[in-house]
């Protein structure tokens, strides 16, 4: 199996590849900063209103994706599967 990357030797192509890597690196840096901001916001609001962080982040993610119905259906499927396979219920 040959790797085309190692067959590229012209300076223009190599420069384009390098610039793409720099652009991806910059995007990853921004992504990391946004994740930090999201975590800071979640921490602040959860402390302020005594919210469960995991539930809040899940609600925020569903809000962003606008897929509440899908999340609700998936949770119902999870509950059904879990109860039917383990025999555990809310009463246990």
- pLDDT value at residue 15: 94
Share of the chain above pLDDT 70, in %: 93
Are residue 44 and residue 76 in the same domain, yes or no?
A: no
Q: Looking at residues 33-60, what average pLDDT do you find?
A: 97
Is 46 part of any domain? yes
1 occurs within a structural domain? no
Domain encompassing residue 33: 10-51
The pTM (predicted TM-score) of the whole model is 0.70
Judge whether residue 1 has pLDDT over 70.
no
2 is a domain residue? no
Q: Is the predicted pLDDT of residue 88 greater than 90, yes or no?
A: no
Phi, psi values for residue 33, rounded to 5°: -65, -40
The alpha carbons of the chain give a radius of gyration, in whole angstroms, of 23
DSSP 8: -
Looking at residues 59-71, what average pLDDT do you find? 97
Assigned token pair, 59: 């609600």
Q: What is the pLDDT of residues 4-41, one digit of tens each?
A: 657 888 899 999 999 999 999 999 999 999 999 999 99
Does residue 5 lie in a domain region?
Answer: no
Counting Cβ atoms within 10 Å, is residue 62 exposed (0-12), middle (13-18) or buried (19+)?
middle
Q: Among residues of the chain, what percentage have pLDDT more than 90?
A: 83
């Amino acid at each position: 199996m040959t790797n085309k990357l190692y067959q590229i030797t012209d300076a223009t192509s190599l420069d384009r590849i390098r610039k793409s890597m720099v652009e991806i690196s910059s995007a990853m840096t921004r992504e990391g900063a946004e994740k930090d901001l999201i975590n800071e916001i979640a921490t602040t609001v959860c402390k302020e209103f005594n919210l469960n962080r995991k539930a809040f982040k899940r609600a925020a993610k569903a809000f962003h994706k606008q897929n509440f119905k899908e999340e609700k259906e998936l949770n119902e499927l999870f509950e059904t599967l879990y109860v039917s396979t383990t025999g555990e219920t809310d009463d246990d």
